[in-house]
Structure 1
Amino acid sequence: MRSTDPRIVLGLHRSRHERRLLIEALDLGVTALDTSTNYLGFRSHQVLAQAAGDLLPKFTVSTKVGYFPGRNGSKHSLDPVRLHTTVEQAVNDLGREPDLVFLHNPEHSLRQTASHGRDVLAQACAALDDSVAKGLCAAWGVASWDPSPLLDLVDPTASKPSVVMIRAGLLVGAGTLDAADALIKAWDLDERAVWGMSPFGSRADAPVWNRIDPRIFLRDNSRFSRVQAAFRTAYHLPRVASVAVGTDDPAHLGELVESLAGEVEGRTVDEYRKFLRDRSRDQPA
């Protein structure tokens, strides 16, 4: 069966939200933006609308809810009323309904809910489901940095997300990869409904990319740089259809677009995942 064509989502985490980057993205064929209520010091939506409000209709826009201003920067909450109100505010600040709203890192609060975590997660999901029903957004999803705490909390009778976004790439550990696969299965989602994020871990110019050569995962590896190979391989660790990646450099974004032409060697990816599992088992508890 043919794999879903890979897609790039321009992530605005740590971005300066510059208009020129959005124009370049459109020129490159990147037509999806991902932001969050708490990005840019909780000003992402307003700044985006001011800088490029006329461009936003040309993009599909996803955002996230779950973090709120607090004394020490931010605090996390899955309170259904707060989530619903925040989606309403996002519509006002963006000047349009988001195409997708993610429940942002629900595990952050769920670790503190003990025995009633399943109910807390179900109620938070229901709040976003209600936002869709009221026309505040077209769809909702779950973005999770660490999906492991969610596995025992999925209620098969509750509302389920249309999209899941999880970490992807060569720097993701075996446990997180396996947990992501299990969560995707629990919500019965196919590859088209799975997004990856943070494909370079911290940043594309981190020293690690000079120490390893990800081109071994590509069939025609002579055509691509190490960074391009690492990005293209991220679509297979785990299997995702889209990857959200942040940059303020149009040239870097162009390199990532070019990397989508690369073909990943599935057998090498399978061997790598086996290596990660074996190494994880061998490490002392």
Structure 2
Amino acid sequence: MRGNDPRVVLGLHRSRHERRLLTGALDLGVTALDTSSNYLGFRSHQVLARTAGDLLSQFSVSTKIGYFPSPGGAEHSLDPARLRAAMEQGAKDLGQEPDLVFLHNPEQSLRDASSCHQAVLMQAFEALDEAVAKGRCGAWGIASWDPSPLLNLIDGTSPRPSVLMVRAGLLVGAKALVAAEDLTKAWGPNEITVWGMSPFGGSASDSVWARIDPRVFLRDGSQLSRVQAAFRAAYSLPRVDAVAVGTDEPAHLGELVGALTGQVEERMIEEYRSLLRDHTSGQLV
């Protein structure tokens, strides 16, 4: 079910996986931790267990499967047998069953598949459904950088994920926003939880955040920094229940947690959406 209180998820993409970050997150009340089997050179699970295994039980831990090591670096697969093996290995490496397992960027394999896209996707969904039923994870979801290829492949008979994770924030284009919202509607906005990711489009220190002032999207953003305002606005572009954000500094995480006190100015968000739509349709000159 969709909630009203925005939540912060500590993401470990590009993280050094240091123990002090996890203890800092717990001190701030951030108890959701998101990683992936392919993070940290396919070593994320093992490093987490080694450096902070005693802390993991205090988090709701989510991970992702779909990418596998290969001679070229990494390859993507939706093969059910490989997905099942990845879930089993992930639980073994973490030292516990994850609370949530995401199918990581399924559109990657669908682009490469020659035919039967729907059948390939449904088999992957069924493998994850089966994993939940057998207690190998608490729930399953989809983390998609580009959800548009999925829209025409699901119907009322498709297994439904518990969580959908998509890009969120002021740097997300109109096409990605619409695709994420359409996919949420297809599964039922009151039936699944939606998470955002990459709220800064790569880095909170990018020069774009010095050139624009995201505080215009808040009712009273005068007490917040531009970075905080950009983070708070991400919960409305598209509308999400939580945002996964990565950092190696507890102080930065604390700054973002503090941003949740801000209130979004919905009128400004809608005006921004209109500008995005106009720009995409070529109406702006």
Aligned residue for 1:162? 162
- Output the CA distance in 2 between the equivalents of 1:73 and 1:218: 42
Aligned residue for 1:193? 193
Aligned residue for 2:256? 256
Q: After the TM superposition, which of the residue ranges 112-121 and 45-54 deviates more from structure 2?
A: 112-121
Aligned residue for 1:61? 61
Letter in 1 for 2:138: A
Letter in 1 for 2:94: L
**For the aligned residues, what is the CA RMSD?**
1.4
Contact 2:64-2:103 at 8 Å conserved across structures: yes
How many angstroms does 1:112 deviate by?
Answer: 2.3
Aligned residue for 1:247? 247
**Normalising by structure 2, what TM-score?**
0.97
- Output the CA distance in 1 between the equivalents of 2:11 and 2:190: 22
- Output the CA distance in 2 between the equivalents of 1:166 and 1:214: 21
How many angstroms does 1:283 deviate by?
Answer: 7.1
Letter in 2 for 1:132: V
Which string of whole-angstrom CA distances, capped at 9 and with x for unpartnered residues, describes residues 204-247 of structure 1? 00000001100000111111000000000000000000000000
Q: Which runs of 5+ in 1 are unaligned?
A: none
How many angstroms does 1:190 deviate by?
Answer: 2.9
Contact 2:161-2:192 at 8 Å conserved across structures: no
- Output the CA distance in 2 between the equivalents of 1:59 and 1:105: 24
Q: Which runs of 5+ in 2 are unaligned?
A: none
Aligned residue for 1:105? 105
Aligned residue for 1:95? 95
Check 1:20–1:27 CA distance in 2 against 1; reply closer, same or farther (3 A cut): same
How many angstroms does 1:154 deviate by?
Answer: 1.0
- Output the CA distance in 2 between the equivalents of 1:265 and 1:231: 14
Contact 1:191-1:240 at 8 Å conserved across structures: no
- Output the CA distance in 2 between the equivalents of 1:283 and 1:123: 42
Contact 2:164-2:192 at 8 Å conserved across structures: no
- Output the CA distance in 2 between the equivalents of 1:120 and 1:199: 30
Q: Spell out the pairing of 1:24-173 with structure 2 (5 A cutoff).
A: 24-173=24-173
How many angstroms does 1:188 deviate by?
Answer: 1.3
Aligned residue for 1:180? 180
Q: Secondary structure in 2 aligned to 1:260?
A: helix
- Output the CA distance in 1 between the equivalents of 2:269 and 2:192: 19
The number of residues matched between the two structures is 283
Check 1:269–1:3 CA distance in 2 against 1; reply closer, same or farther (3 A cut): farther
Letter in 2 for 1:72: G
How many angstroms does 1:115 deviate by?
Answer: 3.8
Aligned residue for 2:8? 8
Which string of whole-angstrom CA distances, capped at 9 and with x for unpartnered residues, describes residues 170-193 of structure 1? 000000000000011111133860
- Output the CA distance in 2 between the equivalents of 1:3 and 1:282: 35
Contact 1:36-1:65 at 8 Å conserved across structures: yes
Q: Secondary structure in 2 aligned to 1:236?
A: coil
Contact 2:162-2:192 at 8 Å conserved across structures: no
Q: Secondary structure in 1 aligned to 2:281?
A: helix
Check 1:192–1:172 CA distance in 2 against 1; reply closer, same or farther (3 A cut): same
**Normalising by structure 1, what TM-score?**
0.97
How many angstroms does 1:254 deviate by?
Answer: 0.5
How many angstroms does 1:158 deviate by?
Answer: 2.1
